[in-house]
Structure 1
Amino acid sequence: MSKKVSYFYNPDVGNFHYGTGHPMKPHRLSVIHSLVLNYGLNNKMQIYRPYKASAHDMCRFHSDEYIDFLQRVTPQNIQAFTKHLSHYNVGDDCPVFHGLFDFCSMYTGASLEGAVKLNNNHCDIAINWSGGLHHAKKFEASGFCYVNDIVIAILELLKYHARVLYIDIDVHHGDGVQEAFYLTDRVMTVSFHKYGNFFFPGTGDMYEIGAESGRYYSVNVPLKEGIDDGSYFQVFKPVISSVMEFYQPTAIVLQCGADSLAGDRLGCFSLSTKGHGECVKFVKDLNVPTLVVGGGGYTLRNVARCWTYETSLLVDEQISNELPYTEYLEFFAPISLYIRKW
């Protein structure tokens, strides 16, 4: 039976700019949405313009002082906040850009509303490609992430669900989410990521297993660079199957960072779009209410293809390997590149 899918998209979310040369490009979200529409995938799901999270929503996880800082700092008044920048880890990786707090409100609100819809049985799957900013910590920004929409969405899910499973297939360790729930057994975090050689964020050792009530509820699968589809799925499937059998969650949050794809500007794995999608399909087939969020992904055309393809898997719609015409066609040029099999 096909699932009821809710998809959250704010038309303004792709208009933010981290700065010249910064690898994080919110513009990728506009490109993905355009592909989703031009493939007609919008006909298979409910599309919502999401709620914008308030400072109060963000303070369900983050400290009041940190969120107050994000609300007040701008590129114009940054001089007045000099002493706060290093305190909140804001600078090169996490720059202050125009509309920063607004951007955080949009992507966080979409994940939060997705959780609310799942809680109320309004959908089986909620999709927010603008979310998945898994590095943000309670008191500081980290790794291009300012507000941890995943933690806030999970806190919402915990109002209705006794056990929530978090799965992370970004090339980077889901450290912010793991840290937030390290001491509890109500959230199990499972992260598959590159580990070693000082790769960011440097955490995610297999011996990080949780503590106190959360002991054995953090699962880390550290991987070496170059892992391909076959090897990745060979690990992913048995780990997730065992976790499901042991933990029996009633809700899942899946972070689909696309920087684990081959050819990513910051990643070092060799997954294809199909291989990455295989993990998404496997989780969907578990038939548990699921919030699907984005995350990393720094080679724009690859991220756009990947998340569009995964949207098609989530709505059970086969799409052509040939890209439809969109206003962003130049991102996929030359032509030989985008007619090639994904």
Structure 2
Amino acid sequence: MPPKERIAYFYDGDVGNVYFGPNHPMKPHRLCMTHHLVLSYGLHNKMEIYRPHKAYPVELAQFHSADYVEFLHRITPDSQHLFANELARYNLGEDCPVFENLFEFCQIYAGGTIDAARRLNHQLCDIAINWAGGLHHAKKCEASGFCYINDLVLGILELLKYHARVLYIDIDVHHGDGVEEAFYFTDRVMTVSFHKYGDMFFPGTGNVKVIVFWQIVGLVNSCYIYCSSLVFPL
């Protein structure tokens, strides 16, 4: 029999305590519900459970601009009225509101993805899970689509420290525009997004006709064929 796969599971109970607002569709408390389901089904017995570190500002700035990270660090619901220009510049508002413990929330979910990538890099696990992550819309200098820090980009950057190339597959209903944009001009990351498009559906990008051909990004034919063999069966 093949050896059992080693699964690393990252969870911090504080991540579900934040509140985006009464009418906001983002409900982080669902992360706590998911964790309780994991416990109820006894799945935690099949995994190694870790509490992620809170990502440091310098880690977040590996992708995001330092001024944007610093602004997220200091903005609060009580002080936001003093920063109207900055709120507009960084796209904070109705979709991406300022709430209590915003920066800590970002630190927790980003730290989980960074830790997951590091354990994979050091071959300490075969599968790494961070349900709190996946905020794929955040851009280098602004929030977008309920996403403030793009933990996926940070995780991929960690993987690239040990691996020549990374294949990123996004199965969220929305186009993974933030990750695609971050690695658009490199041949080391191939992004594939399965999502709904059309009818003014957010974010409005990801037309099936928009494809970065392998000749543009520098992939050799054998690499492109191999990636296609992995993706198309999905």
- Tell me if TM exceeds 0.5: yes
Counterpart position of 2:217: 215
Whether the 8 Å contact between 2:167 and 2:227 is mirrored in structure 1 is no
Specify the SS of the correspondent of 1:6.
strand
1:180 to 1:49, Cα distance in 2 relative to 1, 3 A: same
Q: Which amino acid aligns with 1:87?
A: R
C-alpha distance in 2 between matches for 1:27 and 1:125: 24
Counterpart position of 1:30: 32
1:216 to 1:209, Cα distance in 2 relative to 1, 3 A: farther
1:206 deviates by: 2.3
2:191 counterpart (176, 189, 192): 189
1:51 deviates by: 1.1
Counterpart position of 2:98: 96
| CA-atom RMSD in angstroms | 2.3
Counterpart position of 1:42: 44
Q: Which amino acid aligns with 1:137?
A: K
1:125 to 1:244, Cα distance in 2 relative to 1, 3 A: farther
Structure 2 unaligned runs (5+)? none
Summarize deviations over 1:158-181 as a string: whole Å, max 9, x none. Answer: 000111010011110000000000
1:147 deviates by: 0.1
1:209 deviates by: 2.5
Counterpart position of 2:19: 17
Specify the SS of the correspondent of 2:195.
strand
TM-score by length of 1: 0.63
1:142 deviates by: 0.1
Summarize deviations over 1:229-276 as a string: whole Å, max 9, x none. Answer: xxxxxxxxxxxxx96724799xx9xxxxxxxxxxxxxxxxxxxxxxxx
2:161 counterpart (152, 159, 162): 159
1:29 to 1:160, Cα distance in 2 relative to 1, 3 A: same
1:79 to 1:185, Cα distance in 2 relative to 1, 3 A: same
Specify the SS of the correspondent of 2:83.
helix
1:88 to 1:214, Cα distance in 2 relative to 1, 3 A: farther
Aligned length: 229
1:246 to 1:30, Cα distance in 2 relative to 1, 3 A: closer
1:175 counterpart (174, 177, 185): 177
1:150 counterpart (144, 149, 152): 152
Structure 1 unaligned runs (5+)? 218-241, 253-278, 284-342
- The ranges of structure 1 where at least 4 consecutive aligned residues each deviate by more than 6 angstroms after the TM superposition are none
Summarize deviations over 1:175-212 as a string: whole Å, max 9, x none. Answer: 00000000111000000111111110000012332389
Counterpart position of 1:206: 208
Counterpart position of 1:111: 113
Q: Which amino acid aligns with 1:206?
A: V
1:95 to 1:214, Cα distance in 2 relative to 1, 3 A: farther
Whether the 8 Å contact between 1:110 and 1:131 is mirrored in structure 2 is yes
1:37 to 1:243, Cα distance in 2 relative to 1, 3 A: farther
1:214 deviates by: 5.4
1:245 and 2:229 correspond: no
C-alpha distance in 1 between matches for 2:71 and 2:161: 28
C-alpha distance in 2 between matches for 1:244 and 1:102: 42
1:79 counterpart (81, 93, 105): 81
Whether the 8 Å contact between 1:181 and 1:214 is mirrored in structure 2 is no
1:14 to 1:138, Cα distance in 2 relative to 1, 3 A: same
C-alpha distance in 2 between matches for 1:213 and 1:103: 40
1:152 to 1:248, Cα distance in 2 relative to 1, 3 A: farther
1:244 to 1:134, Cα distance in 2 relative to 1, 3 A: farther
Counterpart position of 1:262: none
Q: Which amino acid aligns with 2:35?
A: H
Whether the 8 Å contact between 2:214 and 2:224 is mirrored in structure 1 is no
C-alpha distance in 2 between matches for 1:209 and 1:3: 34
C-alpha distance in 2 between matches for 1:174 and 1:156: 19
